[in-house]
Structure 1
Amino acid sequence: MAIHRMDNIAIVVNDLDHAITFFQALGLELEGRQMVSGEFVDQTLGMSGVRSEIALLHTPDGHSRLELTRYLNPLAQAASGNQPNTLGLHRIMFAVDDIHATIAELRPHGAELLGQVANYEDTYLLCYLRGPAGIIVALAEKIA
């Protein structure tokens, strides 16, 4: 057995258009968008009557992909919370050229800093933002 790569990370959102716009503002590029349903979806998810709309985005280098999913049936379930110490998906992190410019670009799309931009050993500037569907998006700028 050999793993070839990590293909993508999937995030369930309630507003697909907003989530796409948010991640495009971050610099991801939309590969495609489509409705999915049918026996293969039901079999894969272990659910019946699934109908969802997905969008696939990739980073500019083409190596990392993000799948955004909006469930039409059954409707998505609200999580009990997404704090940094919540079990499960912790956050998704992106390396950026200019952390302050990136934050400014994402604010009009609803991004909110959880804390502040922190300096890690004069090597990285780091921050956590609240993004679409309450997910935590981390940013890292290499400064040394």
Structure 2
Amino acid sequence: MALKRMDNVGIVVEDLGAAVDFFRELGLELEGRATIEGEWAGRVTGLGEQRVEIAMMRTPDGHGRLELSRFLAPPVVADHRAAPVNALGYLRVMFAVDDLDATLERLRPRGAQLVGEVVQYQDTYRLCYIRGPEGLLIGLAQELGRAQDYERNADPPSRREDG
């Protein structure tokens, strides 16, 4: 069997409301919120009896999803939020944005802090890492002219905007 798609990336947070607000400001849409509990949920995760509030966020193109989870039971057992980019395990989530500077300005009032600096990779991307809500590591990338031209020309003619 072939892999069909990646459904979502899950991130555990303490303040679900603040995380939802941050990712909404970034441009994700809230699909819904729910409390997940019951014997079946504990069997899937191996945690036994669990109770988790989740919020499912969707990228504007509808293809990417971010599942934010707040564990009510059992309690959280580890905290990797302050780990540097070379730590094992969860590293970061990268989002493509239209305007990197404008995105940073919108996110700063919600606590976003630049990790290093905004850099330009050749003439294809401007990139940076930020710490978002609760110190989550988030990458932002703005495609510049050549990357957008390459992407458009790499698409089959039926998918090109100009053809």
Normalized per residue, the structure richer in helix is 2
Is the 1:91–1:137 Cα contact (8 Å) retained in structure 2?
yes
Tell me how far apart the structure 2 counterparts of residues 78 and 3 of structure 1 sit (CA, whole Å).
31
Letter in structure 1 aligned against 2:48: S
In structure 2, distance between residues paired with 1:78 and 1:40: 23
How far does the alpha carbon of each residue in 1:17-62 deviate from its partner, in whole angstroms, 9 at most, with x for none?
Answer: 0000000000000000000100111100111220010000100000
- What TM-score results when the alignment is normalised by the length of structure 2? 0.85
Structure 1 regions of 5+ residues with no counterpart? none
- 1:68 maps to 68
Matched with 1:57 is 57
1:70-103 Cα offsets, whole Å, 9 max, x none, are 0001121332542100001111000000000000
Report the counterpart of residue 103 of structure 1 in structure 2. 104
Q: Does 2:143 match 1:142?
A: yes
Distance (Å, rounded) in 2 between the aligned partners of 1:23 and 1:38: 28
User: Gapped runs of 5+ residues in structure 2?
Assistant: 146-163
**Distance change >3 Å, CA 44–CA 54, structure 1 → 2:** same
Could you say which residue in structure 1 is the equivalent of 2:131?
Answer: 130
Cα-Cα RMSD: 1.0
Counterpart for residue 119 of structure 1: 120
Aligned residues: 144
Identity of aligned residues (%): 52
Q: For residues 118 and 19 of structure 2, what CA distance do their matches in structure 1 show?
A: 23
Q: Answer with 1 or 2: which has the greater Rg.
A: 2
- Greater than 4 Å deviation, 4+ residue runs: none
In 2: Cα distance, 1:66 partner to 1:17 partner: 14
